[in-house]
Amino acid sequence: MKEKYILLSIIFSLISCETTQDFKGEIIPDQKYISKLLNADKGQNKKVVSYLSQIIEDGSSSHLYYLRAKYLVESRQYKKANVDIQISLKSSPNDVDYLLLAGQIALNLEQYTSASNYFNLIKSTVKNQSFILFLLTEVSIKLNEYSLANYYLNQVNVNHLSNNDQLYYSILRSICSNRQISSQLIWNKLDANNLNDVRLQRFFLENGLTYTSKYLYQEQLLQFLNEYPNDPHLVRFWARFLNQINQFQMAELAYKKAIDLFEPTDYLYLEIGSFYMKHRNYTLALFYLNQIKPDIKSFSEVPFLKSKCYLYLGEKIRYKSMMDSIKLIFKNDQRFYQLKMKYFGNLLDSNLTVSDSLLTIKP
């Protein structure tokens, strides 16, 4: 609400009470219209962003960029919002509101390490502790740090939570314990009454096909997409759904759109690389897998998939070279040994009667 009052005061100082034209020849509505606009539903965010864009120019206040980033986040245009919030942070790097929004944007762009850094900087200064603890929990889950996620959840005061927050808490607790939403009771509570909450909506779409029909899932997903066509997560869910119903070409287009809506993200590249591998396009699979940084949490999956691509493309020299390097790093990962044995060696039988060139054990 504070941001709306600030924005209103800025707009009122720039225009008169009558409808006028700005220097671009565009019509700017009067104050009553703008006041109604700012207090309208989220569907009006596009117009709010448009008016802010008319006001903002080189040298504008960092808070104006923050306001536009905030409305862009509500419209789920996270990539554009990230540009604005970084401008704000450049001017005011210690502003708590800016850091909080930057962390939320980083989380939505799957930049989990950056999001964690932002949230930890302001953890002790945010008044709504449940809110920041939920964010830290979600980031920890994304980074597969479940013990840390439980640590944050244990600090949440459940008695003071809203109904949606209590459901969100139950979901996070279930994921920490079982790595999935294991309770049918929790799932039954995810319905039209609470799916406007973006957190619950995402969990529904991540797991929906396990609990509902493809027809109902598609209907619900398309409804969300119609409302938020620039949400990269919704586009990604749509690509997954299309792939599942064997609409390969449409899924491919959806993944390409998701890339445009995201900042470069290793997790998306890994998913798309796996997608192309499934459809035996190993050249394109390698294109995306080669863009993944080696510090991704699931990095062991990347060289394994790349080695299979080289093998299926017939590049045995590159494959063997990669195997020699990988086995020094992932000594306990048996997948690499098994893959090499499948194509270049003889597997031992139960009585160790067949020789194995990679082992010194002799029958």
Residue 51: name the closest of 79, 71, 32 by CA. 71
Task: Give Cβ neighbours of residue 59 (< 8 Å, ≥ 6 apart).
Answer: none
CATH 1.25.40.10 fits 1-121, yes or no: yes
Task: Tell me if 289 sits within 8 A of 305, measured CB to CB.
Answer: yes
In angstroms, what CA-CA distances link 52 with 11, 60, 76, 228, 267?
9, 11, 17, 20, 33
Write out the chain's pLDDT in tens, 363 residues: 555 555 545 444 443 333 333 333 444 444 455 455 555 554 567 778 888 888 887 667 888 899 999 999 999 999 999 999 999 999 999 999 999 999 999 999 999 999 999 999 999 898 889 999 999 999 999 998 999 999 999 999 998 899 999 999 999 998 888 776 666 767 778 877 888 899 999 988 988 887 788 998 999 999 999 999 999 999 999 999 999 999 999 999 999 999 999 988 899 999 999 999 999 999 999 999 999 987 766 677 888 888 888 888 888 778 777 776 666 666 666 666 666 666 555 444 444 444 444 444 444
Q: What does the radius of gyration of the chain's CA atoms come to, in whole angstroms?
A: 25
Which residues are bridge partners to 28 per DSSP?
20
Q: Which two tokens stand for residue 11?
A: 């707009």
Report the predicted TM-score, pTM, of the whole model to 2 decimal places.
0.79
Say how far apart CA 344 and CA 360 lie, in whole Å.
Answer: 16
